[in-house]
Amino acid sequence: MDYFMRLHPVIQGLTATLFTYAVTAAGASLVFFFKKVNRTFMDSMLGFAAGVMIAASFWSLLSPSIDISESLSYNVWLVNASGFISGGAFVMLSDLLMSKAGRFGSKDEKFKRTALFTAAVTMHNIPEGLAIGVAFGSVPLGTPLTAAIMLAVGIGLQNFPEGLCVSMPMYLSGKSRAKSFFIGQASGIVEPVAGVSGALFAVAARSLLPLAMSFSAGAMIAVVCAELIPEAFEGNKKAAEAGVIIGFALMMVLDIALG
């Protein structure tokens, strides 16, 4: 742990996002072992991931952003509200572009839906990677390292079912296990790239750090609303609800205990 703390924030961000990518690949690898996955289990896992990301958006991004804004004598509500709304708008625009692209794709509705979900997951992994990178890049300015680490852990936790949610439908749509795994793990490879970019930005442009952090928080909340919550609540709502509550509470307790 001491060795990790001495690393440059950019290297910390890269290491953390390589971890989240590895968890995505681990989730996708379950396609080699199972022909199908229990729906209730998936609903609870997706709900848990949603709870984790909601909590991480506040404690690891918005709350430190507010503190940094105050230390820089910014208009706190204007900077953070602007960043948060911009992050949400970015994800909404990405969803819109994905939906329009789907109109010109495959005629196979099952495969088209799977392909669009895969594209959406890949697109949404970009702000997740950015969020981790920005969190680690903000550590020299006062953000607790534990908050950045817990954000990476939280996103890693939600990446496990996410990888499975990409690879398994691909397999069920007719792709081989190997190809389904390859596509599933590839959906997470954008996170290290985005993580390094976010950390570099945070280190080089510290005056814009609160805007970047609130942007990342807004993007993450939008991802939860657009993908995780709808997918989880399509099936067993009680399992999904329990997952959200447990995920949020766990992140809250860990942040308070370690922060």
Residue pLDDT, tens place only, 17-67: 999 999 999 999 998 987 777 778 878 877 887 887 788 788 877 888 888
How much is the pLDDT for 217?
87
In whole angstroms, how far apart are CA 156 and each of 20, 95, 116, 150, 178?
A: 4, 22, 22, 9, 22
Per-residue pLDDT for 206 more than 80? no
* pLDDT for the residue 83: 92
- The mean pLDDT of 199-206, rounded to a whole number, is 81
* C-alpha–C-alpha distance, residues 220 and 204, integer Å: 23
178-192 per-position pLDDT tens digit: 988 998 898 888 899
The helix/strand/coil state of 113 is helix
pLDDT band at 11 (very low <50, low <70, confident <90, very high): very high
pLDDT attached to residue 86: 93
pLDDT digits (tens, 9 = 90+) for 78-130: 999 999 999 889 888 877 776 666 555 555 555 655 666 666 667 767 878 88
- The pTM of this model reads 0.71
Q: Which of 183, 157, 156 is nearest to 45 (CA)?
A: 157
Other residues' Cβ atoms within 10 Å of the Cβ of residue 253: 11
The distance of Cα 197 from the centroid of its chain, to the nearest Å, equals 15
Q: Are the C-beta atoms of 164 and 31 separated by less than 8 Å?
A: yes
Contact between 30 and 225 (Cβ < 8 Å): no
pLDDT digits (tens, 9 = 90+) for 228-243: 788 788 888 899 999 9
**Span between the terminal Cα atoms of the chain, in Å:** 15
**What gap in Å lies between CA 133 and CA 213, rounded to an integer?**
10
Residue ranges per domain, the chain?
10-29+38-258
